[in-house]
Amino acid sequence: MKNIILLVGNWSKESQEVKEFWLKLKKTKKFDLKIFDVSTKEGAELMDRYEVSVIPVTIVDGEIKFIGIPDIKSVEEIFDEED
């Protein structure tokens, strides 16, 4: 099962869209989803660890996969890798 981490800012419209995207996808795909606001200590630590300075960021299995809003085709490819 994929482990997905989202780094978002609650003030960011794009971040809200990415959260909604992954929460909707979770209804049809199996994956572990953790969402961190970058204004929290945990979120800031993850930003430092992955050396990113923009949001939203999608991390899949420990690797940055998307910055910004992911397109559905690229996301489908991630899940196809499991099959």
For 6, 13, 40, 47, 53, the CA distances from 2, given in Å and listed in that order, are 13, 25, 24, 20, 24
CATH number for the region 2-7+17-80 comes to 3.40.30.10
Amino acid at 32: D
Q: Is the pLDDT of residue 83 over 70?
A: no
pTM (2 d.p.):
0.91
Q: What is the domain partition of the chain in residue ranges?
A: 2-7+17-80
Q: How confident is the model at residue 79, as a pLDDT?
A: 85
CB atoms within 10 A of CB 39: 11
Q: How confident is the model at residue 81, as a pLDDT?
A: 75
Task: Name the nearest CA neighbour of 34 among 66, 14, 13, 59.
Answer: 59
Residues 55/7, Cβ–Cβ less than 8 Å: yes
* pLDDT tens string 26-82: 999 999 999 999 999 999 999 999 999 999 999 999 999 999 999 889 998 888 876
Given strand 63-67, what is the order of strands in its sheet? Answer: 31-37, 2-8, 57-60, 63-67
Q: How confident is the model at residue 68, as a pLDDT?
A: 93
User: To 5 degrees, how large is the angle CA 45–CA 46–CA 52?
Assistant: 110
